[in-house]
Structure 1
Amino acid sequence: MRLIALPAFQDNYIWALQTPDERTIFVDPGQAGPVLEAAAQGMQPAGVLLTHHHDDHIGGVAELRQRWPRLRVMAPHDERIALDCERVSEGDKVELSGFGFTVMEVPGHTRSHIAYYGHDHLFCGDMLFSLGCGRMFEGTPAQMLASLRRMAALPPQTLVCCGHEYTLANAVFARHVDPTNAALQRRQQEASDMRSSSRPTVPAVLAGELQCNPYLRTTDTAIVAAIAARLGRAPTDEVEVFAELRRWKDGFTA
């Protein structure tokens, strides 16, 4: 099994998961070009997995269907994905070319966002990033936190395959919130080294995210203390910790 992050747009990744016979599943192809180029190199599409309706994640599908009319496409139940898709929801099993994934409904970034988990890979779109999480365009803090908790409960060896290269920017904010975290400092240096040689910083191993990602550590003493200092009082509960952490990041400048 081979996993490749195909760059798209300014900072998107289209994930390509390939079998030994070169049959490939593509995740969130916002552009057709990178997939067509990969196919020209031998990665023959076996199917497409879509996590949510934003155009930078689905915009290339129509062109791919022109090239491969019978291409199977899995997508959440959302009328804004105006494509001929196989609609999937919580607990559904997706079987494609020998791969098997379980669908997780993870609202927060959007109301219909889903993730796909299988073979120790989590394709999570814009919900969970290395050292960060997505913006709440449609969900509530309670929904977003619950979705992140579900993903955080997966096996620690899970590879977090997110939709954007945001790690270094996320690291700056995470260090601002949690400046004494040695594991976070190491991850920031690792990510910096990767980007300096034009390598993707993802997938990230979930075990590392549990040590470094502030949005997965909303009960940690250091994170709670940082939020309390910002609020000028103790937060009422974990949801408020998360909500204020996300609000802080939304207005953060380095």
Structure 2
Amino acid sequence: MHVVPLPALADNYIWLLHDDSNQAIVVDPGEAAPVESALRARNLTLRAILLTHHHPDHIGGADRLRENHAVPIYAPDDPRIAVATHRVRDGETLTLQQPAARFEIIAVPGHTLSHIVYVGEGVLLCGDTLFSLGCGRLFEGTPAQMLSSLQRLASLPGDLLVCCGHEYTVANGRFAQTVEPDNTALKQRLDEVAKLRAEHRPSVPATLSSELACNPFLRVDSEEVMAWCRRHGAANDPIARFAALRSAKDVFRA
């Protein structure tokens, strides 16, 4: 399966997946135009739309794409996603015939309460739950919920490609450096990101194993993150450490 990030809106990525017979899936189309352009340029046939959560910058183009291509829309069980034609839930497997693909559904409350991710075909389609070097803001869920969601993702195979919803890696990396300034893997990742962005290329996808080595929100039990948390009065338990990290990131400016 070929994995293509399509820039959209201010800093979103729509994910386009297609096989060698030109059958395609699109994930979180915040607008339709970039998808239509990519389909034409690559001579692809759209077969399905997958949605991770209800925010407009992730679903805004889904209705137009469905009208134009008569395809099913898979989404979490949330009435705020009225455009959905099929609902998928935690623990279910979504099997598509064209392109031939299978995705496991994992519920990841935190950014929103009904957020889901799709795992399969070598990718983790994670919307706004996990970002490269960061995680989503807690608009609806609690720190305990988000940490549990991230821990579920952290247990997945390390070679999965993390396909997230925004180009936030540079800003996330600046914060991560304040938490783990001596993290060699983080330094290497930031050098890689700087080169990619200088060439106007996406910083994602990255592997999950890279995120486990670099992303402080996946590393609340690491010695350096715990030391940062002690300095910020939140070393007693993982949830408190995660909450301290997320609160600090919410107000971080650099």
* TM-score bracket for this pair, using the shorter chain length: over 0.9
Task: Give CA-to-partner distance per residue, 1:134-158, whole Å, 9 cap, x none.
Answer: 0000000000000000001000101
Task: Give CA-to-partner distance per residue, 1:145-176, whole Å, 9 cap, x none.
Answer: 00000001000101100000010100000001
Q: Which amino acid aligns with 1:47?
A: A
Matches within 5 A, 1:1-254: 1-41=1-41, 42-68=43-69, 70-96=70-96, 97=98, 98-231=100-233, 235-254=235-254
TM-score of the superposed pair, with normalisation by structure 2: 0.97
Q: Distance in 2 between matches of 1:155 and 1:62?
A: 33
Q: Out of 37-46 and 164-173, give the one that drifted further.
A: 37-46
1:65: how far off?
1.7
The sequence identity of aligned pairs, in percent, is: 50
Q: Which amino acid aligns with 2:157?
A: P
Q: Distance in 2 between matches of 1:92 and 1:38?
A: 30
Aligned partner of residue 6 in structure 1, secondary structure: strand
Task: Give CA-to-partner distance per residue, 1:27-81, whole Å, 9 cap, x none.
Answer: 000000011111212121110100000000000011112212x301100000111
1:84: how far off?
3.9
Contact 2:75 2:84 in 1 (8 A): no
1:14: how far off?
0.4
Q: Distance in 1 between matches of 2:124 and 2:183?
A: 25
Q: Distance in 1 between matches of 2:45 and 2:166?
A: 23
Q: Distance in 2 between matches of 1:225 and 1:218?
A: 10
Q: Distance in 1 between matches of 2:73 and 2:67?
A: 13
Aligned partner of residue 62 in structure 1, secondary structure: helix
Q: Out of 207-216 and 82-91, give the one that drifted further.
A: 82-91
Aligned partner of residue 81 in structure 2, secondary structure: coil
Q: Out of 95-104 and 142-151, give the one that drifted further.
A: 95-104
Task: Give CA-to-partner distance per residue, 1:98-138, whole Å, 9 cap, x none.
Answer: 01101000100000000000022100000000000000000
Q: Distance in 1 between matches of 2:84 and 2:161?
A: 29
Say if 1:50 and 1:84 are closer, same or farther in 2 by CA, change over 3 A.
Answer: closer
Q: Which amino acid aligns with 2:252?
A: F
Aligned partner of residue 156 in structure 1, secondary structure: coil
Aligned partner of residue 115 in structure 1, secondary structure: strand
How many pairs were matched up?
Answer: 251
- The 4+ residue runs of structure 1 with deviation greater than 4 A are none
What RMSD in Å do the two structures reach over aligned CA positions? 0.8
1:220: how far off?
0.5
Q: Which amino acid aligns with 1:181?
A: N
TM-score of the superposed pair, with normalisation by structure 1: 0.97
Q: Which amino acid aligns with 2:14?
A: I
Q: Which amino acid aligns with 1:65?
A: R
Contact 2:66 2:73 in 1 (8 A): no
Q: Distance in 2 between matches of 1:215 and 1:143?
A: 13
Q: Distance in 2 between matches of 1:51 and 1:163?
A: 10
Q: Distance in 1 between matches of 2:106 and 2:205?
A: 18
